[in-house]
Amino acid sequence: MRKVCIAGNWKMNMTPSEGKAFAASLAESVGDVTGNVSVVVAPPFITIPSVVEQVKNSNIKVAAQNMSDKESGAFTGEVSADMLLDAGVSIVILGHSERRALYKEDDAFINRKVLLALEKGLDVILCVGETLEERENGQLETVLKRQVTEGLKDVSPNDMSRVIIAYEPVWAIGTGKTATGDDANSAHAFIRGVVAEMLNEGVANSVIIQYGGSVKPSNVKSLMAMEHIDGALVGGASLSVENFAPIVRYND
C-alpha cells in the first residue's frame, strides 16, 4: 500500500507570530497523526523558524514553498537548500503553478532545483498541472508528460523515494472548482504511467501523487477514495485548523 501525504501550502499567508500560534494549535490537533499518513505544512520562508519550533515534538514536517537553484553566493533575495535544512525544513515544494505563471519558472529551471534539493538531502514535492486553456485544447497529457519528464530529468530511481508529485490543475486552484474524482484519478494514472516509462513500474507504483485544487473537508474523502490519489496539497483550507484537521483525518 502506498503512503499518504497531506500537505498544507500556506502561500503568502501567516506572519511569524500568526504562524507560531497557528502551528501550536495544529500540533495539538493533528501532531499525533501516525501510521500511513504524513502531515506537512509549508509556511513562507520567514515564518519557518517559528513553525519548526512549535511542531518539533509532533509528527508534523515543515516544507518550504520554493528554494534557489544556486548553492550560495551573490543571489540577492534567494534562499538556499542549506539554509532550509539548517532551519529544520525537510521538504521543498517546487514548480508550483503560481511560480510557473507569475515568475516564469520553466521546466529546466525547476529541474535544476529538484536535482539540487535531492542532492542536498531535501525531499521534493514537484507540482504539475494544466491550465484550463490547455485542457480545453486537448493538451492535458502533453503538458503533464512534459512537466513530469523534464521536471524529474536525471532523478535516479533511488531518489524517487524522496519525491512526491502533486497534480494541481491550475483551473481548480483557489477557484472552488475541484476536479472530479474520476478526472483527477485519470490524470494521476497518466502521471504514474509517465513515471513508469521514465524509470520503472516499481517506482511508478510507489510514488505518492497528491491532488491539489480546492481540497476541503467536504470533498477530501471522495478524492482519497480514488485508486491513484495518495494525498492532498491544500491551499486555502490549510489556513484554519477547523478545515485542515478534518482533511488530515479524512479516514476517521
Q: State the catalytic residues.
A: 96, 168
Q: What is the footprint of ligand 13P within residues 152-181 (CB under 6 A)?
A: 168, 173-174
CA dist 135 → 139, 144, 171, 189, 244 (Å): 6, 11, 9, 16, 29
Asked if 215 touches ligand 13P (CB under 6 A), the answer is yes
Distance CA 52, CA 57 (A): 9
Which of these segments, 69-77, 110-118, 208-216, 242-250, binds ligand 13P (CB under 6 A)? 208-216
Report which secondary-structure segment, H or E, holds 234: strand 231-234
Single out the segment in contact with ligand 13P by CB under 6 A; choices: 16-24, 51-59, 146-154, 228-236: 228-236
- Radius of gyration of the chain from Cα atoms? 17
Report, in Å, the least distance between residue 62 CB and ligand 13P.
15
Question: From the CB of 166, what's the least distance to ligand 13P, in Å?
Answer: 7
Smallest gap from residue 127 Cβ to ligand 13P (A): 7
Show the cell assigned to 245.
Answer: 484537521
Region near ligand 13P per CB under 6 A, out of 24-32, 43-51, 56-64, 227-235: 227-235
Three cell numbers written together for 29? 490537533
Within 96-115, the residues that bind ligand 13P by CB under 6 A are 96
Kindly give the residue spans of alpha helices, DSSP state H, lying in 36-180: 48-55, 81-86, 97-102, 107-120, 132-136, 140-151
Residue 60 to residue 188: CA distance in whole angstroms:
25
Complex with ligand 13P: residue 107 or 203, whichever CB lies closer: 107
Tell whether residue 4 is a contact of ligand 13P (CB under 6 A).
Answer: no
Among 89, 229, 233, 248, binds ligand 13P (CB under 6 A): 233
CB closer to ligand 13P out of 203 and 233: 233
- Spatial contact of 229 and 5, defined as CB atoms under 8 Å apart: no
Q: Which stretch binds ligand 13P (CB under 6 A): 17-25, 69-77, 79-87, 233-241?
A: 233-241
Alpha helices of the chain — where are they, by DSSP H?
16-30, 48-55, 81-86, 97-102, 107-120, 132-136, 140-151, 181-198, 201-206, 217-224, 241-248
Closer of 93 and 160 to ligand 13P (Cβ):
93
Binding site for ligand 13P (CB under 6 A): 9, 96, 168, 173-174, 212-215, 233-237
